[in-house]
Structure 1
Amino acid sequence: MTWQPFYTGTGEPPERRVELSAPPPWREFPRRSLHQQFVPPQGLVEAVNAALVLRRPLLVTGPAGSGKSTVIEQVAAELDLGTVLRWHITSRSGLTDALYRYDALGRIHAQRLEGPGGSDDIGPFLRMGPLGTALLPSDRPRALLVDEIDKSDLDLPSDLLDVLERGEFEIPELARYGRDVVAVREWGGEDLHEVRRGRVQCTEFPFIVMTSNGERDFPAAFLRRCIRFTMPMPTPETLLRVVAAHLGADAARSEAAGELVGAFVERLTAGEGLAVDQLLNAVHLLAGSAAPDEERRQAVVDLLLRELSRV
């Protein structure tokens, strides 16, 4: 793109209506997968294949914006594993919600509305969670992203161990229910899956990618059940390949891109916290033919490449 200052700060509308330029590919909506633009670093392909063959989760550690969560999109597209299921972790995330959700209050309300003799079908008030959906019986493995697992409380990694080892879990509300078979909706869709006697047992262990920003340590029992990979420090060559994949070869060959990449790597080497998508933002704005003057250009660089650990 070429630099275009749409906003002038005068508060006066222009004579002609201003048309904004097209957004960068990673900010188009509805969001689309960027798996074709992802450039796996050295060693990641081997780690993915090890996780696939051994049916183990892949724990990918690295700084924000290093492409950790894009790995699974590329694998799912290449191996036809379907839509990626996503479980974004917060400090309040618990294992049960990832397995299934039960709307007990909604069921009680429906029973009161229908009165005596009304339907007592529990199915409409249950929905599988992202992990529960990934463990449903299927012909092919499902792909599950467990994003930022280091944000969880201390017990969650240990709570996951039994489910990931056995590949099954129980829904107590269905185990106590009067019918043996209940149809339950999957996560992120309306497809129904039959659950028998309250137990879900996978037939193909899902391909699971867990991401971590490296902000905490995990129990040894959890780590030994994972294939672990740490995203390496990017080099100018790898970053220019990323720029080319997202913005085209011409942008990657531009003088502005080379300067930005060189300064970016220097700052990373010095220990600053920066994300690759910050670099892409800067190249997208400043590698065009109508770049701003030097003073304004530096202001844009300072704005877009601010160190992440600072306010």
Structure 2
Amino acid sequence: MQDWWIYRGTGRPHSGILRLPPPPPWRVFDGTPLVPPPSSLDGGVGRRLGEQHRAVSYRPRPDELELINAALYLRRPLLITGKPGVGKSTLAYAVAHELALGPVLRWPVTSRSTLADGLYSYDAIGRLQEASLHHQLGTTGDLQIGRYLRLGPLGTALLPYEHPRVLLIDEIDKSDVDLPNDLLNIFEEGEYPIPELQRIAASQPRVELPVEGSDDLVGVHRGVVRCNAFPLVLMTSNGEREFSPAFHRRCLRLDLGQPDAEQLGAIVAAHFGTEPTADTAELVELFLARRERGTLATDQLLNAIYLTVQAPDGGPPDRERLADLVLRQLDAGPDS
């Protein structure tokens, strides 16, 4: 194991993040005051079905570990490419779990996503409707702006935490053409304004806002959020589009390869808690052979093993045939 590795890829939580040295001079951020760490430190793996097993069982290759740790040291985003099912999203949960960095902040990107969606949301209409209702009833209510603002996953990741949060920007290649370049300034500056709060900063310099992924309230000062520890940003891409040279220059690029037989055996053992059997090994061989001819995801192998090896008595009468159907290539046509 390399001594400089902060993230080791073992799946066992440790305090290695405390050994992370100061950032390069050109990546220093000084957001204050520091906000408390998130109330939950489990990496968020318990909140999504199956992520706990995937996070604990994830075993990156040495060259992948080098790039993940380089992103931590350099405070740079990591652009992760690879075929479906190789663990691009799981990597975020694995790092957050092992380094105890709190729940993963996940931003699933679509063609309609904008930078503002990731930073914060403001329910101006809801505030106006509530004010109108109180006016009609002749009552008073709490119309403080903090009740109608909420920080998004990107906005929460850039709060001034002492240690970096893990931000997963999932499937960024599905975004509108402008979003990746819109992110560049945020990645470089490590801060963003909230105009709605800047307008009232003279009379209300500090506003408490809810954040993504928890019930915590965090104070925002004078309408500007500036990070202290730059988050570990992992952006996944299925290769559906190209990105600009300027975007690539500000990221580290990691191409995740498909797991080999040894890695698949470790994944199976971690998920089912038993050493591989002869039946399991046969399914792994079938999976690898079919993967040579088309795209298969590791989840399909786990499903096939459960149906044919792990399912209790009284399960499907023809388990092998069902497993054969489960191991169908993802890029196969409807008649294949």
Give a deviation string over 1:149-185, Cα, whole Å, max 9, x none. Answer: 1111111111100001100001111112252221111
Residue 226 of structure 2, aligned match among 196, 201, 204 = 201
| Residue in structure 2 matched with residue 9 of structure 1 by the alignment | none
What letter matches 1:193 in structure 2? Answer: V
Residue 300 of structure 2, aligned match among 258, 266, 278 = 278
Structure 1 distance, partners of 2:68, 2:127, is: 42
Give a deviation string over 1:106-141, Cα, whole Å, max 9, x none. Answer: 110121122289454111000000000000111111
**TM-score after normalising by structure 2:** 0.78
What letter matches 2:270 in structure 1? Answer: A
Give a deviation string over 1:246-282, Cα, whole Å, max 9, x none. Answer: 12343x2x22222221121122222x01100001111
Aligned 1:101-250 pairs, distance under 5 A = 101-115=121-135, 118=140, 119-177=142-200, 178-250=203-275
Post-superposition offset of 1:41: 2.8
| Residue in structure 2 matched with residue 91 of structure 1 by the alignment | 111
Residue 39 of structure 1, aligned match among 50, 59, 77 = 59
1:303 paired with 2:303, answer no
Q: Percent identity?
A: 48
Q: Is the 1:57–1:225 contact (alpha carbons within 8 Å) kept by the matching residues of 2?
A: yes
Give a deviation string over 1:45-69, Cα, whole Å, max 9, x none. Answer: 1111000000011111112211111
Give a deviation string over 1:284-304, Cα, whole Å, max 9, x none. Answer: 2212598999x9344212321
Structure 2 distance, partners of 1:120, 1:287, is: 58
Q: SS of 1:189's equivalent?
A: coil
| Residue in structure 2 matched with residue 12 of structure 1 by the alignment | none
The number of aligned residues is: 283
Structure 2 distance, partners of 1:53, 1:29, is: 28
Q: Aligned pair in 2 of structure 1 residues 273, 155: CA closer, same or farther (>3 Å)?
A: same
Q: Is the 2:51–2:90 contact (alpha carbons within 8 Å) kept by the matching residues of 1?
A: no
CA-atom RMSD in angstroms: 2.6
Give a deviation string over 1:4-23, Cα, whole Å, max 9, x none. Answer: xxxxxxxxxxxxxxxxxxxx
| Residue in structure 1 matched with residue 25 of structure 2 by the alignment | none
What letter matches 1:123 in structure 2? Answer: G
Q: Which runs of 5 or more residues in structure 1 are unaligned?
A: 1-25
Structure 1 distance, partners of 2:139, 2:156, is: 32
Q: Is the 2:103–2:213 contact (alpha carbons within 8 Å) kept by the matching residues of 1?
A: no
Q: Is the 1:234–1:265 contact (alpha carbons within 8 Å) kept by the matching residues of 2?
A: no
Q: Which has the larger radius of gyration?
A: 1
1:269 paired with 2:288, answer no
Q: Aligned pair in 2 of structure 1 residues 290, 203: CA closer, same or farther (>3 Å)?
A: closer
1:287 paired with 2:306, answer no
What letter matches 2:211 in structure 1? Answer: E
**Could you tell which deviates more after superposition, 75-84 or 126-135?**
75-84
| Residue in structure 2 matched with residue 257 of structure 1 by the alignment | 280
Structure 1 distance, partners of 2:311, 2:174, is: 42
Q: Is the 1:291–1:297 contact (alpha carbons within 8 Å) kept by the matching residues of 2?
A: no
Q: Which runs of 5 or more residues in structure 2 are unaligned?
A: 1-44
